[in-house]
Homo-oligomer: A and B are copies of this chain.
Amino acid sequence: MFCTLDELVARIPDGASVALPPDYSGCAMAAVRGLMARRARGLHLIGVPQMGFQGDMLIGAGCVDTVETAAVTLGEFGLAPRFSAAVRGGDVRVLDATCPALHAALQAAEKGIPFMPLRGIVGSDLLAARPDWKVVDNPFGADDPLVLLPAIQPDVALFHARVADREGNVWVGVRRELMLAAHAARDTFVTVERIQDARLLDDEAMAAGTLPALYVSGIAEVPEGAWPVGLAGCYEADRAALREYAEQAATDEGFVEWMRHHVTEVAAA
């Protein structure tokens, strides 16, 4: 259960499908840099339901074969430059979705059902590009087209959280998309700011926002593990570092430079 950051990263195999949350949720940025440093290959990223810097970084580092998401965005720092470049170059396969479709498909995996119906989407060009999505006539209606989304069971859910206890329970608070991803995924790997002695499930307020250890395969204690995107309630985003990334990643050379400085040299140190 408990391991070092390196051990945790090593347990995410090349080719795995990996569910990743948005920047505002809980991003295991240190683990993502670990995947980049080890030159992970062939990952299938799944946005829960969209992804930010970590998605762009992994794509830029050549770790990603497919990205299945409602968006890749740097938010106020602009378009995701490595994602855009990879799409332009045909270097990454994009399975475009919409936020609730990803939530619903993960819920289907959570419930062990083969698919989930969802309203909306009909008439969007998204549908034409997703032969894995079906449109059927609602069996409880008549002439009522309805989209069916196949379940998404990620091999791995990877995120960062504030605290875990010695049993391996992890507090996610209101960020329940993390709990959903963990329920849906085969294995969940979590980096946390700290590991506490007090049992989370013994505190009835904390228990309500706790992911039980039952779903957790590995935990590494990584203080500031969400740097630079930040962790709500713990520390803010490092806006200077995010801006630096956005600027450098705008070009191929700039990204290589950024990666040398923030990933390769750090890993070698």
Interface residues of A (CB under 8 A from B): 104, 107, 111-119, 134, 136, 138-141, 144, 146, 148, 150, 172-174, 176, 203-209, 233
B residues less than 8 Å from A141 (CB atoms): 114
22 A-B residue pairings within 8 Å (CB atoms): A111-B116, A112-B119, A113-B117, A113-B119, A114-B117, A114-B138, A114-B140, A115-B138, A115-B140, A116-B117, A134-B139, A172-B208, A173-B204, A174-B207, A174-B208, A203-B205, A205-B205, A205-B206, A205-B208, A205-B209, A206-B208, A208-B209
The 8 closest A-B pairs by CB, nearest first: A208-B209, A205-B205, A173-B208, A208-B208, A113-B117, A114-B140, A174-B208, A114-B138
Given A173-B208, A207-B173, A209-B208: A115 and B139 within 8 A (CB)?
A: yes
Q: Which of B104, B107, B140 contacts A134 (CB 8 A)?
A: B140
A90→B129 CA distance, assembly (Å): 54
Q: Which of B104, B204, B233 contacts A233 (CB 8 A)?
A: B204
Stoichiometry (number of copies)? 2
B residues less than 8 Å from A148 (CB atoms): 139-140
A104, A107, A203, A209 interface centre (most CB from chain B within 10 Å): A209
B residues less than 8 Å from A118 (CB atoms): 111, 113
A144 to chain B: closest residue by CB: B114
Closest chain-B Cβ to A201's Cβ sits at a distance in Å of 9
Given A119-B113, A173-B205: A139 and B136 within 8 A (CB)?
A: yes
Closest chain-B Cβ to A91's Cβ sits at a distance in Å of 30
Closest chain-B Cβ to A94's Cβ sits at a distance in Å of 22
A183→B19 CA distance, assembly (Å): 26
A207→B175 CA distance, assembly (Å): 11
Q: Which of B146, B172, B174, B209 contacts A114 (CB 8 A)?
A: B146
10 further contact pairs, Cβ within 8 A, besides A173-B208, A203-B205: A104-B111, A111-B116, A111-B118, A113-B146, A114-B144, A115-B139, A134-B140, A136-B139, A140-B148, A173-B207
A128→B90 CA distance, assembly (Å): 53
B residues less than 8 Å from A205 (CB atoms): 173, 203, 205-206, 208-209
A204→B114 CA distance, assembly (Å): 35
A141 to chain B: closest residue by CB: B114
A175 to chain B: closest residue by CB: B208
A141→B150 CA distance, assembly (Å): 11
A204→B111 CA distance, assembly (Å): 28
B residues less than 8 Å from A208 (CB atoms): 172-174, 176, 205-206, 208-209
